Copies of this chain bind each other. A is one copy, B any other.
Amino acid sequence: MSEVLPTIAEVRAAAERIRPYAHRTPVLTCASLDAMTGAALFFKCENFQRVGAFKFRGAANAVFSLSDEEAHRGVATHSSGNHAAALALAARLRGVPAHVVMPRTAKAVKRAAVAGYGARIVLCEPTLAAREATLAEVVAATGATAVHPYNDARVIAGQGTAALELLAEVPRLDVMMAPVGGGGLLSGTAITVAGVSPNTRVVGAEPAAADDACRSLQAGRIVPSVDPKTVADGLLTSLGTLTFAVIRERVAEIVTVSEDAIVAAMRHTWERMKIVIEPSSAVPLGALLEGKLPAADRRIGVILSGGNVDLADLPWGRG
């Protein structure tokens, strides 16, 4: 994996490369959420993306960047979430194998989803060491290319294409917001905004309960979260070296959001916009509801990262 930071040219190349495969997702607005926040919000709906999340953009860019010879040997990862499903689908679209290392304890529904996209599942013990060792074994045995879920320049460039589409439809934003976990979406977004709309400020939003990006920026080095607990289960991971480098250079601010505000923002989005988003997607709106941005920020782009949620286990009470 190269430590050279991706550029706006690579984001534009990614957009061309994935165009035949990815959905151009709609940008939606909502009068009642505008009234609640006092802003004009433009939601880029990656919950409508293939596999239900922006992750397909980065995975597709990585898979379709490979030479035929590399691609023929397949791709591999040890994610068990949206990235695994995204990589599996991208590999299937290119007609090459995908190997996904998952802990034995992964939920059956997640295994079924990834297997449904045609990936080979390799089970391992539920520790990070076992996952990394098993992935290394798979790569050694197959010659597959490992594709990291976020600390990979091709993945970051792919994630930046969501902001590229949003800015093409909605110019002159004061602020562009994205959630931050490992930082692939936020760093791709920041590269795009710097290249296309340099007067727009990029603001990352993360759960206060998993605030490693905020603390890392303050410390000037990566400070990982230790066993964080948050309803935004897509944001548990900590920044990588590449994403930290981009975010330190390009992101104006990281704001942190309470669990209550995340759940309230998610529920408002379902009730008012009539769309299904996962908790991680609700973190930027949660920050706005908590007044974390200055009132002068009027035109705000928000990337809704995904819509994969267990409908039988929603983060609000019954009745």
Interface string of A135-152 (1 = CB under 8 A from B): 000000000000000000
> A304-319 toward B: CB 8 Å interface, digit per residue (1/0)?
0001000111101111
Q: Are A312 and B307 in touch, CB under 8 angstroms?
A: no
Q: B residues within 8 A CB of A48?
A: 274
Residue numbers in B under 8 Å from A47 (CB-CB): 274
| Inter-chain contact B319/A313, CB cutoff 8 Å | yes
B-chain residues with CB within 8 Å of residue A277 when the two chains form the complex: 274
- Chain B residue numbers with a CB within 8 Å of A271 are 276, 311
Q: Please report which residues of chain A, range 261-319, place their CB below 8 angstroms from some CB of chain B when the two chains form the complex.
A: 267, 270-271, 274-277, 307, 311-314, 316-319
Contacts of A314 on B, CB cut-off 8 Å?
311, 314
- State how many angstroms separate the Cβ of A135 from the closest Cβ of chain B: 29
Give the number of copies in the complex.
Answer: 2
Looking at the assembled complex, report how far the CB atom of A286 sits from the nearest CB atom of chain B, in whole angstroms. Answer: 17
Asked if A311 meets B319 with Cβ closer than 8 Å, knowing A274-B52, A276-B275, the reply is no
CB within 8 A of A270: which of B311, B313, B317?
A: B311
Chain B CB within 8 A of A228 CB: no
- Whether A311 lies near B267 (C-beta < 8 A) is yes
What would be 26 A-B contacts, judged by CB atoms less than 8 Å apart?
A26-B26, A47-B274, A48-B274, A52-B274, A267-B311, A270-B276, A270-B311, A271-B276, A271-B311, A274-B275, A274-B276, A274-B277, A274-B307, A275-B275, A275-B276, A276-B276, A311-B314, A311-B316, A312-B316, A312-B317, A312-B318, A312-B319, A313-B318, A313-B319, A314-B314, A318-B318
Which 10 pairs, one residue from A and one from B, show the smallest C-beta to C-beta distance? A274-B307, A274-B276, A47-B274, A312-B318, A270-B276, A275-B275, A48-B274, A312-B319, A270-B311, A312-B317
Chain A positions near chain B (C-beta within 8 angstroms): 26, 47-48, 52, 267, 270-271, 274-277, 307, 311-314, 316-319
Other contacts beyond A271-B276, A274-B277, A318-B318: 9, CB < 8 A:
A26-B26, A47-B274, A48-B274, A274-B275, A274-B307, A275-B275, A276-B276, A312-B317, A312-B318
